[in-house]
Structure 1
Amino acid sequence: MTDPKAPVAIWPDIPEPLMPYSPAVKAADWIFVSGQLASDFKTGIAPEAIPANPHLESEQALQSKFVMETLKRTLAAGGADISKDVARIWQWLPWETPTYDDFLNDNSWPDGLSITPYLDTRNEYIFEPRPASTAVSIRALPVRDAHIEIDMIAITDGSEPEGFSPGPEVPMPLAGYSPALRRGDWIFLAGEVPTDWVGDYGEARSMGPESALAKDARVNPHVWYGSEIEAQTDYTLWKLQKIAESAGGSFKRVVKAEVYIGHPSDYEGMDKVWKKWFPDNPPARVVIPYMGLGTRGSKIEIALTLLADDSELEIETIHTTEAPEPFSHEPQAVKVGNFLFLSQQMACDSNGVLAEGMLRHKNFPWYGLPGKNQMAYMMKNIAAICEAGGTKVENIVRRACFHDEGDHFADSIEEWAKYFPGVKPASTTMKIGGPLVVEGANTMLDLIAYVPD
């Protein structure tokens, strides 16, 4: 008997991608849309997204309009309305700064980047309450001169979107997105940074280093004590807890976390604080380094997906001995209803050390395919986790892929494609421009899979 909720690829009338992915995948009333760029996938940036006179038209605005039109048609082909059905949106913006040296020096600020042309365009397509949002700068996208890539999750379960704002003790964002959006059982929290949205701006006397950080997220630079990443993580999670409560949720029901940090050295301090806020049964989690963050001075951004407290759905932590234990404070995966949310995947062991055989031998630099080998290693582990969660690799519906420098992209994606003879997952791919938390890993995956009833 055919499963009516099973993944189905959506192929609207849009430029066909060059890589092996579906423009969107629909499963159990959720639509996972691949990262869309302003490309015709023939010449590069589509001609209609290139300004005739860059002094008269914004490149970012033209590309944003092309992408939003593509997303609108894609969602319509899946039975969704872009103006009201999008629950979660990611915006990836390539920018020259911060550089690798900037990250080494605790600077995650993309100096000179403005997303106002994009926001003005987006607001023509997506209405209130706007979806939970994350916007970060990254090093590069797979199409030359692309200024933005956007992917999203839409929900078509018949529920109405409800936007929530926290009480006056939690500062409101400036960019017009919903701090929390509820759709049925699910609550999506936008990426939060440790800011009060004011910081030192307009102050006659600085409260500390020039930044937009909230006072509670800072440490005193004139003493030996305190950890910036710990203070910022703690304040950001405090904000998220308040926002979750305003939407009818709590940290006991968090299913998935996305954590964006500057330098990988911030990982340890972040994880230390994480254990305090999620001592037992932590959510699935992916931690992505070298992210340019939208407030000066920030070292971290966190977005959460959770169940409402009144939901009857159950959260199940998934574990198998056939895959390595996570090297930090997250499970291998979390299962809720028809979805399995996997934690970050890299080609490493339980100690966070690269698995044997994943790099070329230093004395034989022409031999071996590290991208292929690392992807095969990850897929073996992913298959085991999927099986433990009641599904299989072929049911993966969303993939976000983060490459260090992108040198091994070709053999990596070729190996990935072998596992999906049928419906290919929605996919977003980018270069972050620096070594991952696991030294030697060239790729990190963030995955969601469909689980049959």
Structure 2
Amino acid sequence: MSHIRPLSPITIPGTDVCFAQGVQAGNWVFLTGHEATDFATGLAPEVLGKPRFPLHGAPKHRREGDFILRRLDALLKEAGTDHAHAVRLDQYYPTWKAVDPYHDARRAYFGDYIPPSTSVLMPELLHPGADINTSMIAVMPGEGRTVQRVSQSRLVAPMGSGFAPVVTVGDYVFVAGQMAHHGGDIGVDPSAHVPDGGVRWSGTEIKLQAEFILSELIHPALAAAESSLAHVVKAQAYLAHVEDIPLFMEVWQAHFANHPCALSVVPTEGFGLAQGILEINIMALKRHGATQKEIIACDVPSTMTYGAPAVRAGDLLLLSGLMATDEAGAIASVETAAGMPYHAVGARSQMGYLLETAQRICEAAGTSLDKLLRVHQFHTDLREFYPMHKVWHDVLPGQPIPFAAIRVPGPMPAPGCTVMLDLWVYAPIG
């Protein structure tokens, strides 16, 4: 199967924003950036509830979770698959108070199998009042695409979450977001934490947590799934403190320097683990599978990413998080536009530069940007969403875009940049 089609594309009334609620491409289904909106007025009326009776009925966040999951279910059915074939969930919340009610909705929908999940706190979502943003990846039913839990993995989901920490489907391995603990709700593992009140130079917190996650959690989980760190194709690292990136990358490179992957390093406001300052999720390939990892060589400034420009894994092209930099820093037009903030010159120039770069990476991999599967835009200011989205439609006129737009705490890892792009692209073989 080599076709690609948007699922229930919708143009937001009164705008030229065309949103692809999902994309079905070959045997993959991507549902991206879902919030409990009616696409016309903001949050759906059934989520808002009765204005004169705010304390009647289910909690607002439960209504919000139920609404999103009903919409995802309808999109899965439109694609010809179901929640039993889901392999990954990503959730962003502006408040921790939304998480438990959403988990109740999630358990009611998924039942005994909840796919590997990553949940982090972010300052703001695209729609005022929205407290849950969800993306899902699933596969089409068929031979060789049965989702299987990795039962021998030592990973354990947090007690209230209930997701499968590791699953495989065909040659692909999906590992849920991991933090520096052994599951349950007991806090950071002592071996990954600088002792409170102890010797100040007894370790560095970010290095201890990073090493613990990679060595004690992800490495054995991949081994149990017949994979390894060398076969990782895509990772997202959510960091509480951008100033920790050099120390984090020191640990990361000790594991990945000889076999890089696509990597997005995303500023994050908070985590489920109160003392946690880092969460990492992983996608990998089985060691002896037919699908091979291919690092894409492309002339991209080294400052734009923290990983390989992109990695091809079968019919998926996975890009590292991109920022609009050259070797001198943020691209020159960002600095020159600083005196005209309300003309959106900096926003538009960043997105134009990023899409031009992404297209070159796609061409190097033998595909094109119009085969988008998923776009996560991490903004420091959501007021830049619309001028940046206009650039998408300049580059891909008339094409629905499968986007999520999330505000992250500033600054970005590259000073002056205000957006990071995390892209997945379809790269059909043959």
For residue 31 of structure 2, what is the aligned residue in structure 1? Answer: 33
Give 1:332 shift.
Answer: 0.5
Determine the C-alpha separation between the residues in 1 that align with 2:88 and 2:427: 20
Determine the C-alpha separation between the residues in 2 that align with 1:172 and 1:150: 18
Q: Secondary structure at the match of 1:128?
A: coil
Q: Secondary structure at the match of 1:130?
A: coil
With structure 2 as the length reference, what TM-score do the two structures score? 0.91
Determine the C-alpha separation between the residues in 2 that align with 1:406 and 1:251: 35
Q: Is the 8 A contact 1:15 1:40 kept in 2?
A: no
* 42-51 vs 64-73, which moves further: 42-51
For residue 11 of structure 1, what is the aligned residue in structure 2? Answer: 8
Determine the C-alpha separation between the residues in 1 that align with 2:356 and 2:301: 11
Give 1:224 shift.
Answer: 2.9
Could you say if the C-alpha distance between residues 32 and 114 of structure 1 is closer, same or farther in structure 2, counting changes exceeding 3 Å?
A: closer
Could you say if the C-alpha distance between residues 15 and 46 of structure 1 is closer, same or farther in structure 2, counting changes exceeding 3 Å?
A: farther
Which residue of the other structure, out of 162, 168, 178, is the alignment partner of 2:164?
178
For residue 129 of structure 1, what is the aligned residue in structure 2? Answer: 113
Give 1:298 shift.
Answer: 0.3
Q: 1:341 aligned to 2:339?
A: no
Determine the C-alpha separation between the residues in 1 that align with 2:151 and 2:335: 48
Q: How many residues align?
A: 419
For residue 204 of structure 2, what is the aligned residue in structure 1? Answer: 227
Q: Is the 8 A contact 2:92 2:121 kept in 1?
A: yes
Q: Secondary structure at the match of 1:248?
A: coil
Q: 1:289 aligned to 2:290?
A: no
For residue 59 of structure 1, what is the aligned residue in structure 2? Answer: 60
For residue 188 of structure 2, what is the aligned residue in structure 1? Answer: 213
Q: 1:450 aligned to 2:429?
A: no
Q: Is the 8 A contact 2:294 2:312 kept in 1?
A: yes
Across the aligned residues of Structure 1 and Structure 2, the Cα RMSD in angstroms comes to 2.2
Q: Is the 8 A contact 1:38 1:146 kept in 2?
A: yes
User: Alpha-carbon deviations, 1:214-254, whole Å to 9, x = none?
Assistant: 11111234213111000000101120111112222211111
Q: Is the 8 A contact 2:158 2:184 kept in 1?
A: no
For residue 104 of structure 1, what is the aligned residue in structure 2? Answer: none
Q: Secondary structure at the match of 2:214?
A: helix
From the two aligned structures, give the one with the greater helix fraction.
2
Determine the C-alpha separation between the residues in 2 that align with 1:165 and 1:171: 10
Give 1:196 shift.
Answer: 3.0
Q: Secondary structure at the match of 2:127?
A: coil
- Stretches of structure 1 that go unaligned for 5 or more consecutive residues are 96-109, 202-211
User: Alpha-carbon deviations, 1:291-334, whole Å to 9, x = none?
Assistant: 3211010000000001112311111111122x323566511100
Percentage of pairs with the same residue: 27
* 259-268 vs 217-226, which moves further: 217-226
With structure 1 as the length reference, what TM-score do the two structures score? 0.87
Q: 1:149 aligned to 2:133?
A: yes
User: Alpha-carbon deviations, 1:73-93, whole Å to 9, x = none?
Assistant: 1111011112x0111111111
Which residue of the other structure, out of 169, 174, 177, is the alignment partner of 1:191?
177
Q: 1:86 aligned to 2:86?
A: yes
- Stretches of structure 2 that go unaligned for 5 or more consecutive residues are none
The one-letter code sitting in structure 1 at the alignment partner of 2:91 is: Q
User: Alpha-carbon deviations, 1:387-408, whole Å to 9, x = none?
Assistant: 1111111112210011002232
Give 1:370 shift.
Answer: 0.9
Q: 1:380 aligned to 2:392?
A: no
Determine the C-alpha separation between the residues in 2 that align with 1:196 and 1:442: 35
Determine the C-alpha separation between the residues in 1 that align with 2:126 and 2:344: 24
Give 1:166 shift.
Answer: 4.6
User: Alpha-carbon deviations, 1:341-375, whole Å to 9, x = none?
Assistant: 00111101246x21111234555566661110100
